[in-house]
Amino acid sequence: MATEREHFEIRTMLANARAAALEADAEKSLAEAAKFKAETRGALATAKRGEIDLAVKLRSEKVELAKDKEFRVFVYDQVVTSQSAEKCIQQLAEWSRVDPKCDIEIIFNSPGGEVVAGMALFDYIQRIRKQGHAVTTTSFGMAASMAGILLQAGDKRAMGPEAWLLIHEASFGTHGSFGDVVDTVEWVKRVQERILDIFAKRSADSDPKVATKKLTRTQIKRRWHRKDWWISSDEALKHGFIDEIA
């Protein structure tokens, strides 16, 4: 029969065992708590990175959607060449196909350039107007020479308060035989008559409440004869070469 001392030792051993088990459970719980805490921190960090990535993506999309292209605005700030005119035509064609009858604005700040290339763009603008697109042509800075003619292509024409319109006689380089030169001169004269028609017609068709001094072909021809005729936005409005000052 076990003695009292032996009972005490057994109870002590059992107590120590339970204490050791409890200590092991406590250590396990602490380890699991530390693991959970670490996982929580990791999840929070991942969520934060996700929020940042989403914010960056949304900001990038917002910037993209704010670009001129999304608002159907084409900025023509180059010399008028076959390449720059073709670039504009291609963009107008894309908008016309993707968004039929959408409003379009072309902003000019150009010193002018090639007449043939410019007239190709002029005709294309007339084409998309007939298809139902309302086209606004605006000038900030200057619409000089061929760019001034293109400014006349829109349904509504506007200039910034400090913008300038330049109108002058058509000019072309020529070379070759005497006959070649004569033929070119004759062709230039015919082109010039068409340009006069464009300016005179737009002046005549402008709102009489705005255009207080409309000009005929003869009056325009007299003003640009052998000189550069620089026209302020106020003068352009008065003569009916624009419909409003932007």
**How many angstroms separate the CA atoms of 185 and 58, rounded?**
58
Please, are residues 170 and 191 in contact by the beta-carbon 8 Å criterion? yes
Q: Is 145 a catalytic residue?
A: yes
Catalytic residue among 84, 96, 139, 145: 145
H-state helical runs in 66-177:
82-98, 115-130, 146-151
Query: Is residue 168 flagged as an active site residue?
Result: yes
Map residue 153 onto helix, strand or coil. coil
**DSSP string computed for 198-237:** HHHHHHHHS-TTT-SS---HHHHHHHHTTS-EEEEHHHHH
Question: Which of 110, 133, 139, 168 is flagged as catalytic?
Answer: 168
Give the separation between CA 124 and CA 150, rounded to whole angstroms: 11
**Distance in angstroms (rounded) separating the CA atoms of residues 144 and 154:** 16
Catalytic annotation, residues? 145, 168
